[in-house]
Protein backbone atom coordinates (compact mmCIF):
# COMPACT_ATOMS: atom_id res chain seq x y z
CA UNK A 1 0.00 0.00 0.00
CA UNK A 2 1.04 3.65 -0.44
CA UNK A 3 2.76 5.00 2.68
CA UNK A 4 3.07 8.68 1.76
CA UNK A 5 6.28 10.53 0.99
CA UNK A 6 9.54 9.06 2.25
CA UNK A 7 10.33 10.37 5.72
CA UNK A 8 6.87 11.84 6.30
CA UNK A 9 4.46 10.68 8.99
CA UNK A 10 1.71 8.55 7.40
CA UNK A 11 -1.84 9.82 7.55
CA UNK A 12 -4.13 8.48 10.26
CA UNK A 13 -5.88 6.29 7.69
CA UNK A 14 -2.59 4.90 6.40
CA UNK A 15 -1.37 4.22 9.92
CA UNK A 16 -4.62 2.48 10.82
CA UNK A 17 -4.38 0.30 7.70
CA UNK A 18 -0.79 -0.63 8.49
CA UNK A 19 -1.68 -1.31 12.10
CA UNK A 20 -4.44 -3.64 10.92
CA UNK A 21 -1.98 -5.42 8.64
CA UNK A 22 0.55 -5.76 11.44
CA UNK A 23 -2.10 -7.01 13.84
CA UNK A 24 -3.10 -9.64 11.31
CA UNK A 25 0.53 -10.61 10.76
CA UNK A 26 1.17 -10.75 14.49
CA UNK A 27 -1.63 -13.28 14.86
CA UNK A 28 0.38 -15.52 12.53
CA UNK A 29 3.63 -14.88 14.39
CA UNK A 30 3.91 -18.48 15.52
CA UNK A 31 5.50 -19.27 12.13
CA UNK A 32 7.98 -16.38 12.37
CA UNK A 33 11.44 -16.45 13.80
CA UNK A 34 12.02 -14.66 17.09
CA UNK A 35 13.89 -11.88 15.27
CA UNK A 36 11.06 -11.33 12.79
CA UNK A 37 8.53 -11.33 15.60
CA UNK A 38 10.52 -8.73 17.58
CA UNK A 39 10.81 -6.54 14.48
CA UNK A 40 7.05 -6.71 13.94
CA UNK A 41 6.30 -5.87 17.55
CA UNK A 42 8.71 -2.92 17.43
CA UNK A 43 7.13 -1.61 14.22
CA UNK A 44 3.66 -1.97 15.74
CA UNK A 45 4.72 -0.01 18.81
CA UNK A 46 6.29 2.74 16.67
CA UNK A 47 3.13 3.10 14.60
CA UNK A 48 0.94 3.32 17.69
CA UNK A 49 3.15 6.10 19.08
CA UNK A 50 3.02 7.98 15.76
CA UNK A 51 -0.74 7.65 15.71
CA UNK A 52 -1.00 9.17 19.18
CA UNK A 53 1.22 12.08 18.15
CA UNK A 54 -0.78 12.65 14.98
CA UNK A 55 -4.05 12.72 16.92
CA UNK A 56 -2.65 15.27 19.35
CA UNK A 57 -1.36 17.34 16.44
CA UNK A 58 -4.79 17.29 14.79
CA UNK A 59 -6.39 18.63 17.97
CA UNK A 60 -3.93 21.51 18.12
CA UNK A 61 -4.51 22.24 14.43
CA UNK A 62 -8.26 22.47 15.07
CA UNK A 63 -7.70 25.40 17.43
CA UNK A 64 -5.20 27.04 15.05
CA UNK A 65 -7.72 26.73 12.23
CA UNK A 66 -10.40 28.30 14.41
CA UNK A 67 -8.14 31.24 15.19
CA UNK A 68 -7.25 31.70 11.52
CA UNK A 69 -10.91 31.54 10.59
CA UNK A 70 -11.62 34.33 13.04
CA UNK A 71 -8.97 36.75 11.75
CA UNK A 72 -11.69 39.14 10.59
CA UNK A 73 -13.29 39.08 14.01
CA UNK A 74 -10.68 40.29 16.55
CA UNK A 75 -13.19 40.09 19.39
CA UNK A 76 -13.71 36.38 18.76
CA UNK A 77 -9.99 35.72 18.54
CA UNK A 78 -9.39 37.61 21.79
CA UNK A 79 -12.15 35.63 23.50
CA UNK A 80 -10.76 32.24 22.45
CA UNK A 81 -7.20 33.21 23.38
CA UNK A 82 -8.38 34.34 26.81
CA UNK A 83 -10.51 31.22 27.19
CA UNK A 84 -7.68 28.78 26.58
CA UNK A 85 -5.40 30.81 28.85
CA UNK A 86 -7.92 30.76 31.68
CA UNK A 87 -9.12 27.20 31.03
CA UNK A 88 -6.18 25.51 29.27
CA UNK A 89 -7.62 22.01 29.62
CA UNK A 90 -10.04 23.03 26.83
CA UNK A 91 -7.14 23.55 24.41
CA UNK A 92 -7.42 21.32 21.38
CA UNK A 93 -11.19 21.04 21.48
CA UNK A 94 -12.94 22.00 18.26
CA UNK A 95 -13.72 25.60 19.12
CA UNK A 96 -15.39 27.24 16.11
CA UNK A 97 -15.24 30.99 15.68
CA UNK A 98 -18.42 31.65 13.75
CA UNK A 99 -20.29 34.43 15.55
CA UNK A 100 -23.08 32.13 16.71
CA UNK A 101 -20.62 29.49 17.92
CA UNK A 102 -18.67 32.04 19.93
CA UNK A 103 -21.87 33.39 21.46
CA UNK A 104 -22.71 29.84 22.53
CA UNK A 105 -19.22 29.36 23.93
CA UNK A 106 -19.45 32.58 25.92
CA UNK A 107 -22.59 31.22 27.56
CA UNK A 108 -21.00 27.86 28.33
CA UNK A 109 -17.53 29.16 29.22
CA UNK A 110 -17.74 32.74 30.51
CA UNK A 111 -14.54 34.67 31.04
CA UNK A 112 -14.40 35.57 34.73
CA UNK A 113 -12.07 38.16 36.22
CA UNK A 114 -11.98 36.32 39.54
CA UNK A 115 -11.09 32.96 37.96
CA UNK A 116 -7.30 32.70 37.46
CA UNK A 117 -5.64 30.04 35.30
CA UNK A 118 -5.15 26.74 37.10
CA UNK A 119 -1.95 26.00 38.92
CA UNK A 120 0.14 23.23 37.43
CA UNK A 121 -1.02 20.70 40.08
CA UNK A 122 -4.65 21.51 39.30
CA UNK A 123 -4.08 21.29 35.55
CA UNK A 124 -2.33 17.95 35.99
CA UNK A 125 -5.27 16.74 38.08
CA UNK A 126 -7.81 17.80 35.43
CA UNK A 127 -5.85 16.17 32.61
CA UNK A 128 -5.32 12.93 34.53
CA UNK A 129 -8.46 12.47 36.63
CA UNK A 130 -11.27 14.44 34.96
CA UNK A 131 -10.81 15.07 31.25
CA UNK A 132 -10.16 11.44 30.16
CA UNK A 133 -13.43 10.36 31.83
CA UNK A 134 -15.62 13.10 30.38
CA UNK A 135 -17.29 10.87 27.75
CA UNK A 136 -18.19 8.04 30.12
CA UNK A 137 -21.96 7.63 30.74
CA UNK A 138 -23.07 9.76 33.67
CA UNK A 139 -24.97 6.83 35.13
CA UNK A 140 -21.68 5.02 35.67
CA UNK A 141 -20.02 7.93 37.49
CA UNK A 142 -19.85 8.53 41.21
CA UNK A 143 -21.33 11.65 42.79
CA UNK A 144 -17.85 13.13 43.13
CA UNK A 145 -17.05 12.45 39.47
CA UNK A 146 -20.24 14.23 38.38
CA UNK A 147 -19.31 17.09 40.69
CA UNK A 148 -15.90 17.41 39.03
CA UNK A 149 -17.51 17.23 35.59
CA UNK A 150 -19.76 20.12 36.57
CA UNK A 151 -16.71 22.08 37.64
CA UNK A 152 -14.51 21.50 34.60
CA UNK A 153 -16.44 19.80 31.77
CA UNK A 154 -20.16 20.63 31.49
CA UNK A 155 -22.71 22.35 33.71
CA UNK A 156 -25.28 19.71 32.73
CA UNK A 157 -23.39 17.26 34.94
CA UNK A 158 -24.37 19.38 37.94
CA UNK A 159 -28.05 19.13 37.04
CA UNK A 160 -27.67 15.36 36.73
CA UNK A 161 -26.03 15.22 40.16
CA UNK A 162 -28.81 17.23 41.81
CA UNK A 163 -31.49 15.03 40.25
CA UNK A 164 -29.66 11.92 41.42
CA UNK A 165 -29.55 13.23 44.99
CA UNK A 166 -33.23 14.16 44.91
CA UNK A 167 -34.08 10.63 43.80
CA UNK A 168 -31.91 8.97 46.44
CA UNK A 169 -32.92 7.73 49.85
CA UNK A 170 -31.16 9.81 52.58
CA UNK A 171 -29.20 6.73 53.65
CA UNK A 172 -27.98 6.33 50.07
CA UNK A 173 -27.02 10.00 49.85
CA UNK A 174 -24.72 9.42 52.81
CA UNK A 175 -23.59 6.05 51.44
CA UNK A 176 -24.86 4.19 54.51
CA UNK A 177 -26.65 0.86 55.05
CA UNK A 178 -29.87 0.66 57.07
CA UNK A 179 -28.09 -0.74 60.13
CA UNK A 180 -25.71 2.22 60.39
CA UNK A 181 -25.66 4.20 63.62
CA UNK A 182 -26.00 7.97 64.13
CA UNK A 183 -22.26 7.96 64.78
CA UNK A 184 -21.72 6.37 61.36
CA UNK A 185 -23.95 9.04 59.84
CA UNK A 186 -21.91 11.80 61.44
CA UNK A 187 -18.67 10.37 60.08
CA UNK A 188 -20.20 10.01 56.60
CA UNK A 189 -21.52 13.57 56.73
CA UNK A 190 -18.12 14.97 57.67
CA UNK A 191 -16.44 12.94 54.93
CA UNK A 192 -18.85 14.30 52.30
CA UNK A 193 -18.52 17.83 53.67
CA UNK A 194 -14.81 17.74 52.91
CA UNK A 195 -15.72 17.21 49.25
CA UNK A 196 -18.97 19.08 48.69
CA UNK A 197 -19.04 21.94 51.22
CA UNK A 198 -18.94 25.33 49.41
CA UNK A 199 -15.94 26.35 51.52
CA UNK A 200 -14.02 23.30 50.27
CA UNK A 201 -14.10 24.09 46.56
CA UNK A 202 -11.03 26.33 46.73
CA UNK A 203 -8.90 23.86 48.65
CA UNK A 204 -6.23 21.53 47.26
CA UNK A 205 -4.77 24.33 45.10
CA UNK A 206 -7.92 24.39 42.98
CA UNK A 207 -9.15 27.75 41.69
CA UNK A 208 -10.56 27.03 38.22
CA UNK A 209 -14.09 26.47 36.93
CA UNK A 210 -16.05 26.41 33.71
CA UNK A 211 -18.25 29.00 35.40
CA UNK A 212 -17.42 29.91 38.97
CA UNK A 213 -20.74 31.49 39.99
CA UNK A 214 -22.71 28.56 38.59
CA UNK A 215 -20.55 26.01 40.37
CA UNK A 216 -20.71 27.86 43.69
CA UNK A 217 -24.51 27.74 43.49
CA UNK A 218 -24.36 24.04 42.64
CA UNK A 219 -22.13 23.32 45.64
CA UNK A 220 -24.61 25.06 47.95
CA UNK A 221 -27.51 22.99 46.62
CA UNK A 222 -25.58 19.72 46.74
CA UNK A 223 -24.36 20.33 50.27
CA UNK A 224 -27.87 21.30 51.37
CA UNK A 225 -29.16 17.96 50.06
CA UNK A 226 -26.43 16.15 52.02
CA UNK A 227 -27.16 18.16 55.16
CA UNK A 228 -30.90 17.45 54.96
CA UNK A 229 -30.21 13.74 54.47
CA UNK A 230 -27.92 13.71 57.50
CA UNK A 231 -30.52 15.38 59.72
CA UNK A 232 -33.19 12.92 58.59
CA UNK A 233 -30.96 9.93 59.33
CA UNK A 234 -29.96 11.05 62.84
CA UNK A 235 -33.38 12.30 63.92
CA UNK A 236 -35.15 9.34 65.64
CA UNK A 237 -38.59 10.12 64.19
CA UNK A 238 -37.59 10.58 60.57
CA UNK A 239 -35.10 7.72 60.85
CA UNK A 240 -37.87 5.29 61.84
CA UNK A 241 -40.00 6.49 58.94
CA UNK A 242 -37.11 6.03 56.51
CA UNK A 243 -36.34 2.55 57.77
CA UNK A 244 -39.98 1.55 57.44
CA UNK A 245 -39.81 2.34 53.72
CA UNK A 246 -36.60 0.41 53.05
| Residue pLDDT, tens place only, 145-203 | 999 999 999 999 999 999 999 999 999 999 999 999 999 999 999 999 999 999 999 88
pLDDT at 103 over 70: yes
Q: CB–CB of 16/44 below 8 Å?
A: no
Helix then strand then coil, % of the chain, to nearest 5: 70, 0, 30
The chain-wide mean pLDDT, for the chain, equals: 80
Largest CA distance in the chain: 78
Q: CB–CB of 143/215 below 8 Å?
A: no
Q: Select the more confidently predicted residue: 219 or 47.
A: 219
For 120-245, which CATH superfamily applies? DnaJ domain (1.10.287.110)
Average pLDDT value for residue range 61-88? 69
* Inter-helix orientation angle 34-69/74-86, to 10°: 130
pLDDT at 4 over 70: no
pLDDT at 216 over 80: yes
Burial 35-73 (b: 16+ CB within 10 A, else e): eeeeebeeebeebeebbeeeeeeeeeebbeebbeebeee
Confidence (pTM): 0.69
Q: Is 170 exposed, middle or buried (0-12, 13-18, 19+ CB in 10 A)?
A: buried
Burial 112-142 (b: 16+ CB within 10 A, else e): eeebeebeeebbebbeeebbeeeeeeeeebe
Give dist(CA 17, CA 6) in Å, integer: 17
Count of beta carbons in the 10 Å neighbourhood of residue 204 = 11
pLDDT of residue 126: 95
Domain boundaries, the chain: 9-61, 70-111, 120-245
| Residue pLDDT, tens place only, 23-67 | 565 555 555 677 777 777 777 777 777 766 665 555 555 555 555
Give dist(CA 81, CA 99) in Å, integer: 15
What's phi and psi for 115, nearest 5 deg? -120, 90
Amino acid sequence: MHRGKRGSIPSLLEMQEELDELDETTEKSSILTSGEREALELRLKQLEEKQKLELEKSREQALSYALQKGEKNPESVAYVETLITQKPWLRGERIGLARRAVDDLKTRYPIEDDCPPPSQPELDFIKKEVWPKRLRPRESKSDEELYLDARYVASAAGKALLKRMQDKDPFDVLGLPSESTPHDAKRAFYRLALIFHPDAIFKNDRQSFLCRSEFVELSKKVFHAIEVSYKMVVDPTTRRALLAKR
